[in-house]
Structure 1
C-alpha cells in the first residue's frame, strides 16, 4: 500500500467502499462481503468495479483488519469502520481528506455487480451539482402492512429505489458527515440532504443488486452466468465405400463413383454430429436410440437421428450453441458443398447456420481414408442450459 504522498487524485475521483458490516443474514457463516461469488470473493468483485478510477479507501470491520491481506492490497487505503454506517463512511472520508480529491464515490461492498455505465452516470452528474445517486423507478404497487394485512396502498408516484455508488463533491460531503448528529442515516444521500445539499438522481441498473439474503447470491450468480450448464460432446464415425454412384454427407447428396455402406443412409458426418449431441447430454449414441438390429431403420435418412438428438436437447432445456464437423477423406471434395451442408444441418437442428461449421481434411494418403477405402468424420457439439 503506497504512502499518502504517492497517491494521486488528479486522474479521477476518490472511492470509499464500505465493507464494515457483519452481513450474516445471507448465511454461509461469513459476512457476505467475504463470501465466494462465482469463483471470486464478493468484495474483490466490488473493488475491481472501480479499479483505475482513482484511489480506493476500503473501510473494514475492526475485527477484519489484516485478515485478508490480498483484498487489502487491492485498495490504496484501509481503515477501520465504526458502529454505524455513517461512522464508517466518515472514517473513509477522513482518511482521504489529505489527498484533497474533488469528487468521491461512496459504494456498498455488497453491490459487486455495479455496471460501469452507472458509475459513469454518477460522475458525469457531479459536473453539474454537489451530489448524485443512481435510482430505479418503483414499478410495483406498494402496500403498508399491519398485522399481516394490507392497511394502505400508498402512491408510488415519484418513488425510486436507492442504489450506490452515491457521488459527492468531496468537501461538501465531508462537511456534511462532520456536522451530522441526528439519528442513524440510511445512506449518504440522507446525510447530504440533512446538510441542505441537492441530490440529483441518475438511472440505476437492475443488475446493481445489493446482496442481503441467501437468494441474492443465486440471483447474482445468474447475472454473472455462473449457473449456466455448459456441455461439450464429441462424436466419431467411419463408413466404408461400397457400390453406388452417390453418397450422403451432412445431409447433402453428392455424386461420386462409389457410395457409402451402412445400415441407414451412411451419412458419416451426420452420424458423428448426432453422437456428439447425445454425448453432451450423456445419452449414449445412435445405436442405443436407433438399434441397427431393428429393420425399420434400414436405409433410413440420418436426418431422423439428428432431429431426434436436437429435439431431446430442447426437451431437456439445452440450446445447441455450436457444432463443428470435420470430414476426413481424399475424395469427394467437400469444399464446394460445405455451405449447403451447414444450411441443411442447421435446418434439421432448428438453429442458425452461423452456429454450424463443416470442414474437411485429408489424411495425407495415410490409413484407410488415404487409401480411399472410406470416410471418417469427427464432430463436437456445445450445449448450454441457462
Structure 2
C-alpha cells in the first residue's frame, strides 16, 4: 500500500531581509503572490493528498487574499492554514502536530514558502527518496572555494569543498520519526536548528541526500526578487494545443458541460462526470504544454477518478502552465450535439470555465453547433467537444 503523502509549506516568517513591508511570501512576483507560485506544483501533484500551510499569527487575511489568485478548484485542495510560532522550528512542529491530530501517517515534504521555483522534477526526486530513507534532502555541490574566518575576517582554514553541499527544500521525511524528533527537541529546549534535517541529525537519524535544483532559488534579499523577476520576464513564446472528447448518451436526466449541470432527457456514459467540454479543454492545455493528455494524468483505470468532477482536470492543467512560468491567453470551446440546447447556458459555461482556469471572462470563448443530423451526434447517440488553448511559455534557457 502506498503511504499517504503530505506537503507542509512553512510561510510563517516575516522575511525582513527581503527589504519590503509585506512578508516576502505575500509579495507579488511576476503578477502573482510568491506563496501561490510555491503552492502550485504541490497542488498539481495528485500523489500529495494533503497540503498544509503554516502562516504567521494574524496573517489569515493576507493568506486568503493570496490564495484567491489560485483557481477555485485548486483552493479547495488546501487544508485550512494554522498559525506558526516564534521560530521556523516552532512553526514546523505546529504543522506536524496539526497533521498528527488528523491521524496522518506517511511521508511529509517540508518546504519553504520563499522557494517559488520548486519544480515538479524536484518534487519527484523528493518523493522517490522518501520511499528509501527516513530522511532525505536536496543538495547541490559547492563549486566555489570555501574558507573559515575568525571574528576579524582573517582566513583560518580552507575547507575541502568536495565534502560540502548547499541544502534546499523540499526535504522528505517519514512522518512519525520527524514528529518524534521535533517533540524531543522541544522537550529538551534544543533550538537553533535552521532546517529539519538538522533536527533529525540531532535525534540520531542518518540523513540521505538527493540531487537538488540550481533554479530552486530562495528569496531572501532584495536582489533575489530582482533576479526572480528577470527570470520570469524571459521572452514568452506562443504555443497552441487542441483537444477533442466524445461521450455516448445513456440513461440519466442531465449532462455536465463546461462545469455547468444542464437538465436533459439523457445522461452520458463516462468514468468521471463525463464533461466533454472540460475534457477537451484539459487536453488542449496539456497539448500546448506538450505534457501528455488527460488519460496519462487521470487514467480511467484508476478508481479514484470514478465519478470525479472534471473541474479538477482543467484546474490541474492550468496549474501546469503556471508552474512553467507561463500564462493562458485564451480558451475556445465548440460543443457538437443535437441536444441539449447549449445557447441558454453559454454565459454560465464561459464564466465557470474562467473561474476554474483562473482567467478573465473575455479569455474564454464558447460555441455550439449541430452536425446537420449526420453521424453519431446527428443521430442523437452522443455529444462531442472541440477545444483550442493558446498559451505563452518562457523560452528555454
Report how far residue 217 of structure 1 moved: 1.1
**For 2:90, which of 87, 92, 114 is the aligned residue?**
87
Report how far residue 34 of structure 1 moved: 0.8
Between stretches 71-80 and 59-68, larger displacement belongs to 71-80
Q: Deviations over 1:320-369 (max 9, x none)?
A: xxxxxxxxxxxxxxxxxxxxxxxxxxxxxxxxxxxxxxxxxxxxxxxxxx
Question: What residue number does 2:164 align with?
Answer: 159
Tell whether 2:117 aligns with 1:125. no
Whether the 8 Å contact between 2:57 and 2:84 is mirrored in structure 1 is yes
Whole-Å separation in 2 of the counterparts to 1:14 and 1:44: 17
Report how far residue 94 of structure 1 moved: 0.8
SS at match of 2:159: coil
Question: What residue number does 2:55 align with?
Answer: 60
- 1:1-80 matched pairs, under 5 angstroms: 12-51=4-43, 52=46, 53-71=48-66, 74=75, 75-80=78-83
Q: Deviations over 1:251-276 (max 9, x none)?
A: xxxxxxxxxxxxxxxxxxxxxxxxxx
Report how far residue 49 of structure 1 moved: 1.9
Question: What residue number does 2:109 align with?
Answer: 105
Whether the 8 Å contact between 2:5 and 2:49 is mirrored in structure 1 is yes
Report how far residue 59 of structure 1 moved: 0.5
Whether the 8 Å contact between 1:11 and 1:54 is mirrored in structure 2 is no
- 1:149-298 matched pairs, under 5 angstroms: 149-180=154-185, 181-224=189-232, 226-228=233-235
Tell whether 2:147 aligns with 1:143. yes
Q: Which has the higher contact order (CA 8 A, sep 6+)?
A: 2
Whole-Å separation in 2 of the counterparts to 1:11 and 1:175: 18
Question: What residue number does 2:245 align with?
Answer: none
SS at match of 1:86: helix
- 1:316-327 matched pairs, under 5 angstroms: none
SS at match of 2:146: coil
Report how far residue 72 of structure 1 moved: 5.4
Question: What residue number does 2:381 align with?
Answer: none
Whole-Å separation in 1 of the counterparts to 2:207 and 2:81: 28
Whether the 8 Å contact between 1:16 and 1:56 is mirrored in structure 2 is yes
Whether the 8 Å contact between 2:89 and 2:191 is mirrored in structure 1 is no
The two structures have a TM-score, normalised by structure 1, of 0.54
Whole-Å separation in 1 of the counterparts to 2:135 and 2:236: 43
Whole-Å separation in 1 of the counterparts to 2:148 and 2:99: 41
Task: Please identify runs of 4+ aligned residues in structure 1 that moved more than 4 A.
Answer: 9-12, 227-230
SS at match of 1:76: strand
Whether the 8 Å contact between 2:25 and 2:33 is mirrored in structure 1 is yes
Whole-Å separation in 1 of the counterparts to 2:200 and 2:236: 45
Report how far residue 144 of structure 1 moved: 2.1
Report how far residue 222 of structure 1 moved: 3.0
The two structures have a TM-score, normalised by structure 2, of 0.53
Between the two proteins, the alignment pairs up a number of residues equal to 225
Whether the 8 Å contact between 1:14 and 1:101 is mirrored in structure 2 is no
Which 5+ residue runs of structure 2 have no aligned equivalent? Answer: 69-74, 238-394
Report how far residue 69 of structure 1 moved: 1.3
Whole-Å separation in 2 of the counterparts to 1:78 and 1:11: 23
Report how far residue 28 of structure 1 moved: 2.7
